[in-house]
Amino acid sequence: MARTLHIGCLQYCAGMDTDRNLRRIEKLLDRATGSGAQLVCLPEYATCYGSRRGRLVVGAEEEYEHAGLLALKDMARQRSIWMLIGSIAIKRSDGLINNRSYLIDDSGNIMARYDKIHLFDVDLEGGESYRESDLVRPGEQAVLIETPFGHLGLTICYDIRFPQLYRTLAKAGADILFAPAAFTRKTGEAHWHTLVAARAIENATYLVAPCQCGDQKGKLKRYGHSLIVSPWGEVLADGGESAGVITATIDLDVMDAARRSIPALQHDRLFEISVLPRQDRNVEETKRTPTSS
């Protein structure tokens, strides 16, 4: 197994035109591979993402005929690179979709699939509201895949707020964790860097988080700031607010050293919680007796 990996993240603003998005991806992909990237990562809803009359437009198709998936598999094969498709929308028979991530190998084969487990149903200040569950059926299984670059753990966007998922993947042997996203600008400004760094630090693992940037005519404002973070929480690359490519070299020896230094994964303990009833403060107060000088 290789101990180092040169990794790249593509950052852009996907719209509702899949063909246009694929042309944009291909140009950025050539920049990433030109810099030596062996594994290139795309954000959530990589090939189609927009809003029409208040409803998300994500280009859902069945997997076997998904134009975006087929094109991206060809791009990986033609360039002999591995690719993480942050996610695309896959039609289900029940009328909903799966928000599904794919790991593609350098021959264009699907090596792993992951369906987003935690769905973004929130009401933000200022009237900004999201109901992902209106469209998406949540996944039920965490996914860890062995590759020539180590064991890779797959997550998507809102999953980043659920540390138990990342702990489970790390305890199962994850060397690199992925969190492709289309994080909103409001929540990104408040929490993105902190959440990504925290998941990397607490599990002593690399965390790679490609994120969409920009907005669609003032709608679906995306934060950008794709990140590659080390096991010590050091930001190795930050995509800022504009479209582009970031790269960094991942060194598994650095991860091993971090885990030897602070072996928190070995220190996890099972415990119970005691929920105490409310008590009258006066019962436990100790009466103070004045002292004379």
Tens of pLDDT, residues 69-110: 999 999 999 999 999 999 999 999 999 999 999 999 999 999
Integer Cα distance of 85 and 96 in angstroms: 20
Entry field: residues in the chain:
293
Is the backbone of residue 218 left (phi > 0), alpha (psi -120 to 50) or beta? left
Predicted confidence (pLDDT) at residue 207 exceeds the cutoff of 90: yes
Q: What is the pLDDT of residue 255?
A: 97
Q: What is the pLDDT of residue 30?
A: 98
Q: What is the pLDDT of residue 290?
A: 57
Integer Cα distance of 228 and 34 in angstroms: 19
Domains, the chain, ranges and CATH?
Answer: 4-267 (3.60.110.10)
Q: What is the pLDDT of residue 180?
A: 98
Share of the chain above pLDDT 70, in %: 95
Tens of pLDDT, residues 108-128: 999 999 999 999 988 887 767
Q: What is the pLDDT of residue 293?
A: 46
**Strand stretches in the chain, DSSP E:** 4-11, 39-41, 50-52, 55-57, 82-91, 97-104, 110-115, 121-123, 129-131, 143-147, 150-154, 176-178, 206-209, 213-216, 219-223, 227-229, 235-238, 244-251
Integer Cα distance of 271 and 289 in angstroms: 41
Q: What is the pLDDT of residue 33?
A: 97
For the chain, helix, strand, coil in percent to 5 are: 30, 30, 40
Give 293 or 100, the one with higher predicted confidence: 100
Integer Cα distance of 121 and 130 in angstroms: 5
Across residues 196-203, what is the average pLDDT? 98
Across the chain, mean pLDDT equals 94
Catalytic residues: 44, 116, 157
The single-letter code of the amino acid at 149 is F
Both tokens of 205, joined, read: 């693992």
User: Is 155 in contact with 178 (CB distance < 8 Å)?
Assistant: yes
